[in-house]
């Protein structure tokens, strides 16, 4: 099947599919912030952490995890989270973690495995995109453009298969005239499908690849308009290292 023309340009600008084929993984310094974490009961996640990402399969680690000398390990196929102590011993494990989430309300609290799943699947997808859009089972095609702030952004509609856990299967990605990502829309299954407009800023080139230094997660209405007056989640990346085979 011929690749979507917009996706081909996006891949080229972000480092090229041929170059990405040589990448085995990434390491990033990541900081999480925003009132969402207080709401689900985990304010201790506010610290700089080290994220490692496997470029070929949905696997990531985050350390130190939620205020302790521990590491969260997330794997997507089959879905599983593990918590390791400072010595690398497994102290907690949950298979098929998506099914363990409680019904989401503003009063909902999560346990450590819930946080590990949410941060693991989200950040793996963020760092592997847009190359992820070419992985087996993922479908991407251009849809109608979007006008915002006096600019026209082209959009990719992306569908993820069930063996690649993500916020939800159907998402939309917005690109400017330089083919850089500006926004992504999704509706996480684990937060009652709340409509999200996730904006990205501060693109930086590292070892030939584009990564985004700051992400602000906002709510959006039924017309797609984001409430940018506040951000429930803020993600800051302070550095990325690319690993090649």
Percentage of the residues of the chain whose pLDDT score is greater than 90: 96
Q: Average pLDDT in the 142-149 region?
A: 97
Q: Average pLDDT in the 177-188 region?
A: 98
Q: What pLDDT, on the 0 to 100 scale, is given for residue 54?
A: 98
Q: Read out DSSP for the chain?
A: -PPPHHHHHHHHHTT-HHHHTTEEEEEEEEEEESTHHHHTT-GGG-SEEEEEEESSSSEEEEES-TTSS-EEEEEETTEEEEEE-TTS-EEEEEESGGGGPPPP-TT----HHHHHHHHHHHHHHHHHTTGGGGSTT-EEEEEEEEEETTEEEEEEEEE--TTS--S-SEEEEEE-TT--EEEEEE--GGGTT--EEEEEEEEEEETTEEEEEEEEEEEE-TTS-EETT--SEEEEEEEEEEEE-
Percentage of the residues of the chain whose pLDDT score is greater than 70: 99
What confidence tier does 158 reach under pLDDT thresholds 50, 70, 90?
Answer: very high
Domain 5-236 adopts which CATH fold?
A: outer membrane lipoprotein receptor (LolB), chain A (2.50.20)
Q: What pLDDT, on the 0 to 100 scale, is given for residue 1?
A: 63
Instruction: Tell me how far apart the alpha carbons of residues 234 and 33 are, in angstroms, rounded to a whole number.
Output: 5
Q: What pLDDT, on the 0 to 100 scale, is given for residue 139?
A: 97
Q: What pLDDT, on the 0 to 100 scale, is given for residue 111?
A: 96
Do residues 11 and 131 lie in contact, with contact meaning Cβ atoms separated by under 8 Å? Answer: yes
Q: Average pLDDT in the 129-136 region?
A: 98
Closest CA to 143 of 166, 175, 167: 175
> Which range has the worst mean pLDDT, 46-50, 144-148, 173-177, 214-218?
46-50
Biggest CA–CA distance in the chain, Å, is 53
The vertex-64 CA angle with 60 and 66, nearest 5°, equals 95
Q: Where are the domains of the chain?
A: 5-236
Instruction: Tell me how far apart the alpha carbons of residues 200 and 216 are, in angstroms, rounded to a whole number.
Output: 7
Instruction: Tell me how far apart the alpha carbons of residues 16 and 9 are, in angstroms, rounded to a whole number.
Output: 9
Q: What pLDDT, on the 0 to 100 scale, is given for residue 56?
A: 94
């Amino acid at each position: 099947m011929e690749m979507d023309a917009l996706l081909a340009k996006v891949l080229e600008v972000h480092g090229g599919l041929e170059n990405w084929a040589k990448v085995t993984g990434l390491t990033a310094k990541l900081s999480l912030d925003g009132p969402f974490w207080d709401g689900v009961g985990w304010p201790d996640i506010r610290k700089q952490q080290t994220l490692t990402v496997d470029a070929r399969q949905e696997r990531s680690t985050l350390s130190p995890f939620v205020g302790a000398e521990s590491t969260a390990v997330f794997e997507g196929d089959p879905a599983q989270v593990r918590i390791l102590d400072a010595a690398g011993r497994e102290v907690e494990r949950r298979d098929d973690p998506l099914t363990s989430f409680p019904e989401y309300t503003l009063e909902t609290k999560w346990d450590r495995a819930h946080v590990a799943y949410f941060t693991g699947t989200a950040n793996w997808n963020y760092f592997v995109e847009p190359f992820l859009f070419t992985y087996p089972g993922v479908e991407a095609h251009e849809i109608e453009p979007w006008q915002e702030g006096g600019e026209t952004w082209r959009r990719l509609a992306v569908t993820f298969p069930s063996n690649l856990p993500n916020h939800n299967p159907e998402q939309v990605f917005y690109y400017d005239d330089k083919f850089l990502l500006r926004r992504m829309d999704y509706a996480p299954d684990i937060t009652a499908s709340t409509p999200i407009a996730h904006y990205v800023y501060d693109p930086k080139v590292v070892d030939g690849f584009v990564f985004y230094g700051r992400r602000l997660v906002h709510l959006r209405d039924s017309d797609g308009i984001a409430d940018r007056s506040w951000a429930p989640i803020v993600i800051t990346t302070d550095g990325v290292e690319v690993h090649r085979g």
